[in-house]
Each structure stands twice: as structure tokens, then as C-alpha cells.
Amino acid sequence: MSRKPFYVSTPIYYCNDIPHIGHAYTTITADVLARYHRLVGDKTFFLTGTDEHGQKVEKAAEALGKKPKEFVDGVVTHFQELWETLNVSNDRFIRTTDEDHKEVVTELWKKMEAAGDIFEGEYEDWYCVHDETFWTESQLLEGNLCPNPWCKRPVEKKREKSYFFKLSKYTEPLLKYYEDHPDFVLPEFRMNEVKSFVSQGLMDLSISRSTINWGIPVPGDEKHVMYVWVDALTNYLTASGYLKDEEKYETFWPATIHLIGKDILRFHAIFWPAFLMSAGLPLPKHVMAHGFWTADDMKISKSLGNRIDPTELVDIFGLDAVRYFLMREIQLGADGNFSYKAIANRVNADLANDLGNLLSRSLAMTKKYMDGVVPDKTAADCKMANVCAQAEADYQKAFDNHMPNKALVATWEVISYANKYIDEQAPWVLAKDDANKQELADTMYNLLEALRRIGAMISPVMPDTSAKLLAQLGLESITVNGDTLGNWGELEPGTKTQRGESLFPRVDMKKVEKLIESKAAEAEKKKADSKAESKTVEKQEPENIALVEFTDFTKLALRIGVVKTAEKVKKTDKLLKLTVDTGEDRTIVAGIALHYTPEELIGKKVVVLTNLKPRKLRGIESEGMMLAATAPDGTLRLLTTDEIIPAGSTIG
């Protein structure tokens, strides 16, 4: 099979944050894919980097009294150092402040403009003066309030001149492209999500800002800077050598796979291909959206204090154990839950027991029965060779489908079989009788050869462990053969093995329990601190809590309601249209679609303000407001009541 060049990218990470396990997951996955492709001899290019422009960064820098560039120069080192710690083998670390990137983005803009896809218009949206942020109507809280949970001040309508990209023109071309390339977005269910979103019709996209300075200027109108996503997405093209290195560009563009988290799928599966179509450039072959990690089943967030620090994990469990855990625990595309117990169990069961013991038992027996030297090759037909061949075929198929988790499962087929083989062959029994000399030598050869193959198979995920394992077998490097992982029987008889330290010491579960306790205490303390902080804020701003007369309160007609129907409002991702029985059926449009699915709302008892002036949202008249509160993780939870209280009951 002739193999193709392989170009994998991670998202470029925002420079206003410290990296956590989620960022590490994406980058390690890309690293593993890149290492596999290098292993089988593909020309490989692996890109990661940082997204350094935009309002977030501008503000974060301002808060510290720093110039934006000075600020990002500091933050970027956190990412670069982490990737070194995690043994990430990226070929380039791109920064959107790099000169070549600015040139490419400017050129892309010009191409889209030449195609007639950029026009000047006016961007009209809701503006929060306090937060200096534009919000779309669907994002606002009821009563036209700023949706930032720490703000909630009234917003005003503002207009800003802006350039727009004719995204609407690409609705049909994109749908056709998806139809012709059903594996453009992976996994398949994500492709379906994208298709159904696009089939509702796309709206033109505002792609410049005149109220922000920190960005790449719009060619010909320097008062504007480009929308940060136009700038950011183009990083993939810049790094391919576009405009600079024709040979590199011809080799690697279009990219094979943009690896991203599910949170940014729409930008990659809709905007990016539309920009490229407009500029007349080839589209990436795949966009793979992976799932999200939670920590002990909770969203990872600053306020919960549960951000898992990858460097700390490496200190506790070792680098390759962390890399293995992240790759093995979840299938690419699915969500995963991190817990210290789960990683400790994986280390003990899969790494220390299955893999570590296999190597140490095999080498101990080689020493005892073969003087530590690889015996002559076996002439006998060998089931181990077949197990390896089958597992390697599965392994390669898995990797060619970008599925490291399945590749590890295939690798463990060999490891499990080899462990079983030792028990069945019982070399210690064979060694008792000279008549079994040949069988004993065959057994040891088969085991050592299987270990050599395992050494190659684990190398993309655990490069250091692979090197250690091979060194103990007396080998300097992996030998691969063309696009296969090599042939059975390439381990040279006479090779001197060198039994060394165990690959993975067992993790002491008592220590893990203690670690969990101390982490829980830390998180509790953080929560208490942040509660205390928010109380102080309330106290500092008493003018926000105006006192009302009881008679004013009685003007509010609060009722218990039961949700009877719920559905998404088309063309928004925030709004749900509900029928709520509050003694009579009323329609309520609520901005809660990111927090509740329609299904989970049916039958729910809620608290409704029924005499709020009706208001039209997306053409639907909303006749009331459901009361809700923001949880510490930022999600919105509806207020509810006891089962016994019927719909229509008055509150007050």
C-alpha cells in the first residue's frame, strides 16, 4: 500500500489561560497520531500553537497593566514548557503573532474579497458597557440583561461598522461537500449534527471589529482588525508553507486531520471550509471532534478548583502512564471522566501487571534458561506469530482510522496472549527435562520476539517505555519494514538481553486514597474562598440591591408551572420554546438550551413570573419568565418545588 503524507494539527490554544488536562489530551492525541505515522514511514507534519489575538487577550493583558504582546510572550511559555514535559513532538509551534502568519491571513482575506465574498455592513447587537461586550439577542437574559453571571446589568443596542463574509452563499456548497465527503467530520454523529445545523441555512458572518486593536489589520481599512476566528483558523494554512515553501505546501496541504474538541466544531466544519472554498483552496480531509474530560464527573472549571494539572499528574504517575491513560481510557470522540483511582487502576492492571510483568518474567527466564541470550529461531509453526500478525493488522487499521484507543486494545491482545502463553508453556516445567530443550528455546524465542513487536506497537503512545523495553531486549531501535511494523522473526538469535528496572512500579492505592482526600480538601477550600469572595462583592455593592416595598413585591404574579412541551428554537442554540401550564397554558421562550435538553424539561415543576410584559424573541411571543440560578460551575439551574404543589399555585 502506498502511503500518503500526514498533517495533523491541534487547536491553537487561547493565550489567556494556563493549560489543563483537556488541552493536554488534544495535544497528546495529535502527538500519538504523528508518532504512528512517522513510525510507518509517512512524511509527517504535526502542528500546535497559540491563539494570541482578540479581545480576551487584550483585556487580560490590560488587567495586568501589560502590553498584549508582552503578556502573550509570558503565557505562551506555559504551553511550550508543558509540551516539552509531555514529550510532544510537534514540528512547529505557531503563534498568531508570527510574521508569516500575518501575511497568510492578509492574503486569504484578499482572496475572499476578490471572490466577492466580503462586504461592508453594520453590525447591530446588544452592548454591555460595563463588560464592553456585544451579545446577540438570543444570549441575553430575560429583561435585556447582560448574560455574564457576574454582571447582569441592562444592555443597550449598539451599531458598529463591520465587514461581513457571505457565509449564506456557502450553505448549499457546504451541504454538497458533506454529501460527497461523508467522513469530512469525524465521528459520524458529529457530521450529522453539522449537516442538520447547516441545512437550516447559514447567516452572513461579521468578520471584523473596529472597537478592538489587538488583531491583524483588515487590508485597506486599518481601523478594523480581523475577527479572531478568521485569524486563528488560518494558522493551519500558514504552517503548511503556503506562500513561503511550495514544496512543503504541495506535500502537506490539504491537512489530513484537524484534531479539535467538540466545543469548536462549528468553526472548523463550517466557517473554515467556507473560507477555503471562497479563496479557491483545497479543504482539509478530516475534522475530528473529540469529547470532553470531566473530573469526578464534574465539568472542569476554574471556579470549582478542579482543573487537573498535567505536570502534577506526570510527577505522581510518570509521563508514559499519563499518556497511556488518556489514550486508553476513552475512545476518540467520546467524553471521559478523570479520576485518580481510574488512572491508578490502569497503571497497576495494564502497565505494571500485564506489560511490566511480561517483560520482567520473560527476561528472568531468558537469563535462567538461556544465559540471557536470544535463542535460535524456531522453525515450528507458531500461534504467537499469527496473534501478532492479526493484532498488528487491527492496530494499523485503528491508527489509519485515527483511533489510538483501538490500537492499544489490539496491542494488549498480544500482551494478554503472551502472558497466557507463559502460563500454558510453563517454561519452568519444560526446563526440568532435557527432552524439552527445543520447545523451551522456541518458547523463549517466541516470547522475546513478541516483546520486540510490542515495543514497536507501544511506541506512539509510550515512546520512553518503548525505548526502555527494547533496550532490555538488547535492541537499539525499532525496526519497521516499509509500511508494516516488520516481519515475524527479525529478532536476531544471539542478541544479549539486559534485564533492567521494572517498567512500571505499582501505584500504592493507600497513597492514592490520601491524594484524593487532600485534593477534595483543597477543592473545598477553594470553593469556600470563592464564596467568601462573592459575598464581599455583594457587600461592596449595596446599591445593586435596592429595597422594595412589600406592595411592590405583591405586584409580581409568581406561579408554579409544569412544562408540557419543549422544543429548540430554530437558528439559535440558546433558546427553547416551552408550553408551561401555570393554571393555563402559556408559551415561554427561555435562554436555557445550553443547560437543559427539551426532553429533560418535560414534566418539570418550575417557578414562573406570569405577569412579565410579553416580549417577542425570534418572532415568538414569550408570556412569562422561569426563575433560575447560576450554579458554581456556571450552568443555569431552574428553580423548582415539591411534588405536592400543583400547577397554577400562587407563590408569596
Residues that bind ligand MSP (CB under 6 A): 11-14, 22-23, 25-26, 51, 232-233, 235, 260-261, 263-264, 292-293, 300
Is the Cβ of residue 22 or residue 624 nearer to ligand MSP in the bound state?
A: 22
Is the Cβ of residue 336 or residue 648 nearer to ligand MSP in the bound state?
A: 336
Is the Cβ of residue 30 or residue 578 nearer to ligand MSP in the bound state?
A: 30
CB of 535 vs ligand MSP, minimal distance in Å: 29
CB of 12 vs ligand MSP, minimal distance in Å: 5
Per the CB < 8 A criterion, the answer to whether 356 and 435 are in contact is no
List Cα–Cα distances, 499 to 363, 441, 450, 471, in angstroms: 6, 18, 16, 9
Is the Cβ of residue 334 or residue 429 nearer to ligand MSP in the bound state?
A: 334
List Cα–Cα distances, 11 to 25, 293, 497, in angstroms: 12, 16, 43
Is the Cβ of residue 326 or residue 469 nearer to ligand MSP in the bound state?
A: 326
Per the CB < 8 A criterion, the answer to whether 652 and 556 are in contact is yes
Is the Cβ of residue 18 or residue 393 nearer to ligand MSP in the bound state?
A: 18
CB of 312 vs ligand MSP, minimal distance in Å: 16
Element (H, E) at 545: none
* β-bridge mates for residue 628, sequence order: 638
Is the Cβ of residue 30 or residue 607 nearer to ligand MSP in the bound state?
A: 30
CB of 585 vs ligand MSP, minimal distance in Å: 40
Q: At a CB cut-off of 8 Å and minimum separation 6, what does 589 contact?
A: 569, 575, 576, 577, 578, 617, 618, 620, 622
Position of minimal CB gap to ligand MSP: 22
Number of other residues whose CB lies within 10 A of the CB of residue 628 = 21
Between CA 398 and CA 407, with CA 403 as vertex, the angle to 5 degrees is 50
CB of 52 vs ligand MSP, minimal distance in Å: 9
CB of 27 vs ligand MSP, minimal distance in Å: 8
CB of 125 vs ligand MSP, minimal distance in Å: 21
List Cα–Cα distances, 177 to 10, 185, 273, in angstroms: 23, 11, 9
CB of 75 vs ligand MSP, minimal distance in Å: 11
Strand extents, DSSP E, 309-406: 336-338
Is the Cβ of residue 290 or residue 377 nearer to ligand MSP in the bound state?
A: 290
Query: Peptide bond before 614: cis, by omega within 30 degrees of 0?
Result: no
CB of 246 vs ligand MSP, minimal distance in Å: 24
How would DSSP label each residue in 172-215? Answer: HHHHHHHHH-TTSEESHHHHHHHHHHHHT-PPPEE-EESS--SS
DSSP symbol at 534: H
Cα 406 from Cα 238, distance rounded (Å): 32
Q: For 66, list phi and psi in degrees, rounded to 5.
A: -115, 160
Per the CB < 8 A criterion, the answer to whether 497 and 366 are in contact is yes
Cα 49 from Cα 95, distance rounded (Å): 6
Is the Cβ of residue 587 or residue 635 nearer to ligand MSP in the bound state?
A: 635
CB of 297 vs ligand MSP, minimal distance in Å: 12
Is the Cβ of residue 15 or residue 485 nearer to ligand MSP in the bound state?
A: 15
